[in-house]
Amino acid sequence: MSAEPAGPGGFLQSTLPSPPPSSSHSSSTATSILPQPRSTPLKPGSAKESSFIDYVDRKLLGISRRYEKRYNADFEDEAMSGIEGKGYESFGELATDLASVIDVVWVSGTPSLQVPYLLTIALTSCSCLPAFPFGPLSTFQLLHKLDLAFFSLLKGANYETGETLPGFEGGRAKLSTTEKVRLRGLVERTRVAVVEVAGKGGSATDFGSAVQTEDDLTTDDDDEAMQDVQLEENRGRWEMEVARVYEKTLVELGVSLDTSGIGTFD
């Protein structure tokens, strides 16, 4: 699911790209889905870039191992796995870990690293979705984060402010046609996967109070009837959210690929 670490050695926290101080024209970090990136990309071949790659690879490997623990009893032995934490019990747990990696990748401000890592994370999220009961909140929040990241990279500009992203000055660092085609395929596969997982009746796990009713019903027949009503209401919510999965990325890809002569494809 993810590549092996690029090289041995631990990650030096001091070399992790960190967001620059906020400025008067920056959007409020309290409402931003993505963190503020570095002002300049990491230098190719630099110690910071190497440490960044090692750190992210190890994080992704850890996520892969925790996912495998869900199925492989051998991974329950910490000495064998070398990864702390038990196997994921919900998609929400996995989504939380993936979201934290997205933030680190985004902060790097380095398109040559952001694009391949975000594609890997998008593939991971799509591949793992069917393995868990449907978690609407965690699913849509993660996919919305990825949608904004890809949309910004396709535009070469911050989705909130319109400011040019690091590395895209002068029209540089645009996604290649191959990357766009790969992304288009992932977007379409993910939308299908979400529809299929959401269609499994009674499997939602994280709507919380959103699926509760104010009435306390006492009979089994009434309980069953109300559950059916709640299921239909939830399906209505899910259908609206499913339609929004990667919506910004999909629109921008359509414009970009049509312009480049690729158009639609199966």
Model confidence pLDDT, tens digit, residues 149-191 = 999 999 999 998 899 999 998 877 789 999 999 999 999 999 9
| pLDDT of 27 over the 80 cut | no
| pLDDT of 231 over the 50 cut | yes
The confidence score (pLDDT) of residue 187 equals 96
- Asked which of 8-12, 100-104, 252-256 is least confident by mean pLDDT, the reply is 8-12
**Tens of pLDDT, residues 69-80:** 887 755 555 544
Percentage of residues of the chain with pLDDT beyond 70: 66
Contact present, 42 and 48 (Cβ < 8 Å): yes
Residues 192-215, mean pLDDT to the nearest whole number: 62
| pLDDT of 107 over the 90 cut | yes
Average pLDDT, the chain: 78
Phi-psi region of 32 (alpha: psi -120 to 50; beta: other; left: phi over 0): beta
| pLDDT of 54 over the 70 cut | yes
Distance CA 107, CA 38 (A): 6
**Tens of pLDDT, residues 233-249:** 566 666 788 889 999 99
- Asked which of 124-128, 137-141, 173-177, 214-218 is least confident by mean pLDDT, the reply is 214-218
**Tens of pLDDT, residues 135-159:** 999 999 999 999 999 999 999 999 9
Residues 189-217, mean pLDDT to the nearest whole number: 64
| pLDDT of 103 over the 50 cut | yes
The model's confidence at residue 114, banded by pLDDT at 50, 70 and 90, is: very high
| pLDDT of 29 over the 70 cut | no
Question: How many other β-carbons are positioned within 10 Å of the β-carbon of residue 209?
Answer: 5
Report the predicted TM-score, pTM, of the whole model to 2 decimal places: 0.74
**Tens of pLDDT, residues 35-49:** 999 999 999 999 999
The confidence score (pLDDT) of residue 67 equals 93
